[in-house]
Amino acid sequence: MNDETEYVSNAFGQIFGHDPAVTVRAPGRVNLLGEHVDYNEGWVLPCAIDRAVWLAAAPNNRGLARIHALDMQQQGQFALADFRPPRGHKTDQAWLNYPAGVAWAMQEAGHTLTGIDVVFTSTVPIGAGVSSSAAVEAAFILAWEALSGLSLSTLDKARLGQRSENGFMGVQSGIMDQYASLHGAENQLILLDCRSLTHELIPFPAGNSIVVADSGIRRQLAHSEYNTRRQQCEQAVTLLQAYIPGLRALRDLTLEEYQRYAHRLPAAVRRRARHVVEECQRVLAGAEALRQGDLTTFGQAVNQSHISCRDLYEISILELDVLAATAWEVPGCYGARLTGAGFGGCIIAIANNTAVPALSQALTTAYRAEFGREPQLFTAQVAAGAAATSAIHKT
């Protein structure tokens, strides 16, 4: 039993007076390439990381979800019967919307859920662009699956997590975050085709790490701007269908077609479309570079992705630009870019293990000089995906 599992198991016993029936670990994720292309049916290259949500749970016969968020020292509950969105919880219990959204999505799909008692904790930074919400969703899906006697495919679980975001939280996100949390594999990146929902595992070269630098800026605009970006991409497809019959998504638009018809698009929509077209190409080229063990070429694609997110998709902020530009200058750092929805959150940098101390120092020094505060840094390893295990009962 690792430290986190023991912590949530002991906390569960102290709160509910008996041992949990199941424990769950569900990781956060970083996306190395392919930003804002999942909902355009393109390709992305995420991985699960060794920061996770840890959960302990047992069934109850009350028809309630009784949940303790250990990190926030808060508790909340909701009834499972006749559960419909929007359920919305008050601001100081907004975290409860994530398990509530999962319960809604699973019941909407026809699954009968048991009442559960839960405690959970997380080492995934909240609002930083490393998918703390998807980790919470995955953890609760696995807990309800185990305790309600369900047997779901990994893809079905990812779809349920996405459905809770789309239908309950009102965020029109793609499936990448939940897919990565659930399908992660140790030391393997996930080349996900967001149309077919199939993936290939791409080895992450040994001797390297992912450094995550959190700007400390929470993404207040991310949800509304995320939905706006998605609408602009859909508008591009609709307008271009007049010239390219059968065009289904921006994933299908070639660079040559974009260049031929870009003038038919409004300026902002034109920029969004160009980002998606070029970003899809970057993902495929970057994956091929990694197959060849060529981190230098891969890192160049990562840098170009940040520039495109900044200039074409317009989701960066000064803090993220400073962090990325600083990382680009550090020897042994192959590439760096923002990750997640944008408008705050994190950058990720891929660096040789020997370069991590110098990279961390450079990021801290530059950020302090520019903004008078330090970024939150952590080094992530590529980790396995979410899993539930029967709790180890004390004797």
Identical fold, 3-202+383-390 and 208-380 = no
In which band, very low, low, confident or very high, does the pLDDT at 390 lie, cut at 50, 70 and 90?
A: confident
Q: What is the mean pLDDT of residues 2-29?
A: 96
Higher per-residue confidence, 351 vs 85: 351
Q: What is the mean pLDDT of residues 250-262?
A: 98
Letter string b/e over residues 192-213, b meaning 16 or more CB atoms within 10 A of that residue's CB: bebeeeebeebebeeebbbbbb
The correct CATH number of 208-380 out of 2.30.29.30, 3.40.47.10, 3.65.10.10, 3.30.70.890 is 3.30.70.890
Closest to 143 measured CA to CA, from 13, 4, 21, 19: 21
Q: What is the mean pLDDT of residues 51-70?
A: 96
3-class secondary-structure state, position 10: helix
What is the per-residue pLDDT for 263? 97
Higher per-residue confidence, 90 vs 113: 113
What is the per-residue pLDDT for 223? 64
What is the per-residue pLDDT for 129? 66
Is 214 in the active site?
no
What is the per-residue pLDDT for 305? 98
What CA–CA distance (Å, rounded) separates 368 from 351? Answer: 21
Q: Which residues contact 128 (CB under 8 A, 6 or more apart)?
A: 212, 214, 340, 345, 346, 376
Out of 117, 177, 214, 252, the active site residue is: 177
- Is pLDDT at 282 greater than 60 in this prediction? yes
Closest to 57 measured CA to CA, from 97, 133, 106, 114: 114
Letter string b/e over residues 160-181, b meaning 16 or more CB atoms within 10 A of that residue's CB: bbbbbbbebbebbbbbbbbbbb
Asked if 23 and 54 count as a contact pair (C-beta separation under 8 A), the reply is yes
In which band, very low, low, confident or very high, does the pLDDT at 221 lie, cut at 50, 70 and 90?
A: low
Between strands 115-122 and 64-69, the pairing is: parallel
- Indicate the fold that domain 3-202+383-390 takes in CATH: Ribosomal Protein S5; domain 2 (3.30.230)
- Is pLDDT at 126 greater than 80 in this prediction? no
3-class secondary-structure state, position 294: coil
- Is pLDDT at 150 greater than 50 in this prediction? yes
- Is pLDDT at 127 greater than 80 in this prediction? no
Mean pLDDT of the chain: 93
Task: For the chain, give every domain's residue range.
Answer: 3-202+383-390, 208-380
What is the per-residue pLDDT for 311? 98
Structure tokens belonging to residue 78: 């909701």
What CA–CA distance (Å, rounded) separates 131 from 124? Answer: 8
- Is pLDDT at 99 greater than 50 in this prediction? yes
Q: Is 31 exposed, middle or buried (0-12, 13-18, 19+ CB in 10 A)?
A: buried
Q: How many residues does the chain have?
A: 395
DSSP character string of 246-284: T--SGGG--HHHHHHHGGGS-HHHHHHHHHHHHHHHHHH
Closest to 37 measured CA to CA, from 158, 173, 138: 173
Q: What is the mean pLDDT of residues 83-88?
A: 55
